[in-house]
Amino acid sequence: METALLVIGLFGLLFGVGGRHRASPTVPEERGGAGRVEATADPVLTTPMPLIPLGPFVRAANGDILAVNDGNVRRSTDQGASFKGSPMFPGGGVRPLNDSALLVTESGRVICYFIDRSSLTFEWDRSARAPSTTTKSNVYAATSDDHGVTWRLGSPLQTTYSGATRGLVEVGSGHIFAIGQEMTRSSARHNTVLFVSRDNGTTWRRSNVVDIGGRGDHDGIYEGVVATTGEGSALAVLRTNEDALYSIRYANGQWSRVSAMRVPSSSSPAGLLRLSTGELLMVYNPLYATGRNSAPRTSGQASERAASWYRRELYARLSTDGGETWGAPRILYESPRDVAYPSLFEVSPGVVWVTTYQGQARFSFRVTDLIAADPVR
């Protein structure tokens, strides 16, 4: 068991102590790019939260805050002032990979959608530009009916290779979608694969597949996140190498065709959250550094198309219409190193925690401060 006292973070939340996070304007861009120029807007006021676990987070039906990291369930019973951890599966055998997804359903059941680290193998055959025949992973959706204390594990949802499991959403009572991905040797790119459960996460079946083509160990459409947009509807946001995030929308009992969003983005995934106000919050890496109009690009074994891998800033946008349109971006965070794969959690109305799987940033901000910050033009 472990306990972490979050004195710095709570002091900041209670008394408004924060900081504007900015890297030096002369820090080189990722992958050997030219030096940065001065940003055109100041970052949002944020509060460091160095002692909270990495996300994802959910609030259980009993009020506890839960996170799953390194095979442990980390629990706070005091609104994030401290966390205690215990193994998710004490008997061993299965160990959830970080950057999983958590959901508390209408009934109070907790679901964790994850890749089993012990089953994960990835090898890329450079001569064939395809994954090896041994590349695979087991993907599970474990359930808990006692607020994350004990967990039940069914059969794997898939045993083909998946590199991330970042999206879970309930679109109706017990009607749940998991936003996954898949790469096979015959399809040497990542495709988004949806799994659906109509019995509150007890059983699952394979559903829609989203494929936009490509070839490479980081090509395709994948690492999707999802949020509800109203009764019986949802929006999933997906990573691509097309200089933009893509999306699919669930409404009237079906998923839409995939389409590009008007949100320029580097080839990295977003974080997505439905706020208590009903607005959507999206956090992502911009296509290139603020104040510039280009970025170094990478292709080769990674992808057919040369893509930006810029990850030194996080931008945030709000939507008031379920993701149909998005407000202007604000600079949420800057760093001298890569920060990507954001997880978002509204710990109290209008106060959001952000953690990143890559770079392990941990901070909070107030939505009112986001709105007050100057947008990037």
Q: List the CATH code of the domain at 7-372.
A: 2.120.10.10
H helix runs in the chain, sequence order: 7-15, 367-372
Note the pLDDT tens digit of each residue in 25-69: 323 333 333 333 444 678 999 999 999 999 999 999 999 999 999
Binning pLDDT at 50, 70 and 90, where does residue 366 land? Answer: very high
- The whole-angstrom distance between residue 5's C-alpha and the CA centroid of its chain comes to 25
Coil, strand or helix at 12: helix
Binning pLDDT at 50, 70 and 90, where does residue 335 land? Answer: very high
Question: What is residue 103's predicted lDDT score, i.e. its pLDDT?
Answer: 98
Cα dihedral 141, 104, 108, 171, rounded to 10, equals -90
Sequence letter at residue 197: S
Query: In a 10 Å sphere around its CB, with 0-12 CB exposed, 13-18 middle and 19+ buried, how is residue 155 labelled?
Result: exposed
Question: How far is Cα 93 from Cα 119, in angstroms, rounded to an integer?
Answer: 9
Note the pLDDT tens digit of each residue in 293-321: 999 999 999 999 999 999 999 999 999 99
Average pLDDT (240-248) is 98
CA angle, corner 301, sides to 286 and 298, nearest 5?
30
Please provide the distance, in angstroms rounded to a whole number, between the alpha carbons at the two ends of the chain.
47
Note the pLDDT tens digit of each residue in 190-239: 999 999 999 999 999 999 999 999 999 999 999 999 999 999 999 999 99
Question: How far is Cα 121 from Cα 264, in angstroms, rounded to an integer?
Answer: 32
Question: How far is Cα 276 from Cα 88, in angstroms, rounded to an integer?
Answer: 29
Binning pLDDT at 50, 70 and 90, where does residue 244 land? Answer: very high
Q: Are 319 and 272 in contact (CB under 8 A)?
A: no
Question: What is residue 310's predicted lDDT score, i.e. its pLDDT?
Answer: 98
* Structure token pair of residue 127: 């001569």
Domain-wise residue ranges, the chain? 7-372
Question: What is residue 318's predicted lDDT score, i.e. its pLDDT?
Answer: 98
* Structure token pair of residue 230: 């109203």
Handedness of CA 365, 61, 276, 238 (dihedral sign): positive
- pTM exceeds 0.85: yes
Q: Is the pLDDT assigned to residue 16 strictly greater than 90?
A: no
Cα–Cα nearest to 353, from 17, 23, 20, 53: 53
Q: Across the strands, what pairs with 96?
A: 116
Coil, strand or helix at 255: strand
Question: What is residue 40's predicted lDDT score, i.e. its pLDDT?
Answer: 61
Note the pLDDT tens digit of each residue in 70-90: 899 999 999 999 999 999 999
Question: How far is Cα 189 from Cα 198, in angstroms, rounded to an integer?
Answer: 29
